Every structure is written in C-alpha cells, then in structure tokens.
Amino acid sequence: MIDEKTRSELAEIAARYPHKRSGLLPMLHLVQSAEGRITADGIRVCAEILEISEAEVSGVATFYTMYKRRAVGDYHVGVCTNTLCAVMGGDLIFQRLKDHLDVGNDETTEDGKITLEHVECNAACDYAPVMMVNWEFMDNQTPESAVELVDDLRAGKERHSTRGPKLVTWREAERVLAGFPDDLADEGPSAGPASLVGLAIARENDWKAPEA
C-alpha cells in the first residue's frame, strides 16, 4: 500500500509542473521505489493526484519497459544486445549470465538479488559491450567480468560503475529517477576518454562548427 509519506511525495512531484499530469513518469518511478514495482494501488494514487483515469496511468506504465509489473531484484542488470554490443560480445555475456544465475530474460534470482534483462541500445557504443546496473554504466564487459560483478553484488560487496558512482539498490536508483537526488551525481567523470576522442581530434585540427 502507498503510505502517506509516498503519497505526499507523489503530490510534490506533480506540483513541480505547470500541467501536473506531466509529472506522471517520475511519479511512477517513485511508486517503484516505494513498492518495488508498479502496483494497482500506485496506479490508483497517481490517477487521483493527477485527476486522470487509472486507465491512462496504466497505459503509460505498460508502454515503457522501464516500469515493471513484477518485483525487481536489488540490482537490475541490463545487458545491451543491440547490434554493436551483440557483435562485440553482448550476446555471449547475456547467455553466460543466464546460465550462471539460472534465470531467463526479465527474471529474478531466487535470492531476490539480481533481475536480468537484455536491453536495447544504451547510447554507449564507444564502450561496447556495455551493461547497466540500475542504469549505471559498466563498460567494456566480458563474460568473466560480468559474472564477477553479479557475484559481488549478491555477496553484498560494494561495486562502482566504471565511470565512478557506487552502485545503489534498484529502489534507491528509482527514487533518484523520481527527482530526489542522492548526491552521487558528481562521482566520477561525466564523459570517458572514448567519448571525447572526436572532440580531441577537432581541437587538434582547429575544426569548428559552421557559423549559423
């Protein structure tokens, strides 16, 4: 059930926008943070606050794959299996993790620690093959490094994204996506070296964008 604190925070999110229904996406993230998934009660409360129908809320919640109708583990591990990551090893990583964790796509381990899912492009092709843990990047992965990562997470060991921030639980990450910062945003670089190669070449050659 949605408690009063969560209801108050859902209303706070809605109030951030000139048209309060624009707050639905972050509100659904907060529901997931509180409930572990999108629940019927979460849909009802969002609809009440936004003064729209439950069908409208449910339509959004079922359209986007980031909203889950089944409970997610402490760590959502997404393996990119889009074209570049796949040919660079993403398919092998995904298969190895399925075998190692004894789960299928979008399934959770018996201990409730890991939910495994193959995901579409993470917009990090310069670091392929890429995984994400609760939407934090794990770059240049191999089947071996992926297995080590999930084993560490299941054992409660602290791990960091390859770009800096420590990995928090899925519910904690969902709260950040709802608009309640955890003050970890400035940990690590905002862009890695591979992403900046083009900029370095442009500067070396004094290339500039054409004048408008």
Q: Considering only CA atoms, which of 25, 23, 22, 27 is closest in space to residue 10? A: 27
Task: Identify whether 148 is part of a domain.
Answer: yes
Give residue 195's pLDDT band: very low, low, confident or very high (50, 70, 90).
confident
| Residue pLDDT, tens place only, 153-187 | 999 999 999 988 899 999 999 999 999 998 887 77
State whether 116 and 38 are in the same domain.
no
State whether 21 and 97 are in the same domain.
no
State whether 114 and 148 are in the same domain.
yes
State whether 79 and 162 are in the same domain.
yes
Cβ proximity of 72 and 114 under 8 Å: no
Q: Domain of residue 114: give its range.
A: 75-168
Q: Considering only CA atoms, which of 64, 65, 132 is closest in space to residue 97? A: 132
State whether 97 and 58 are in the same domain.
no
- Say what the pLDDT of residue 76 is: 98
State whether 95 and 158 are in the same domain.
yes
| Residue pLDDT, tens place only, 67-126 | 999 999 999 999 999 999 999 999 999 999 999 999 999 999 999 999 999 998 988 999
Cβ proximity of 131 and 146 under 8 Å: yes
Q: What are phi and psi of 114, to 5 degrees?
A: -125, 130
Cβ proximity of 153 and 186 under 8 Å: no
State whether 85 and 150 are in the same domain.
yes
| Residue pLDDT, tens place only, 123-155 | 899 999 999 999 999 999 999 999 999 999 999
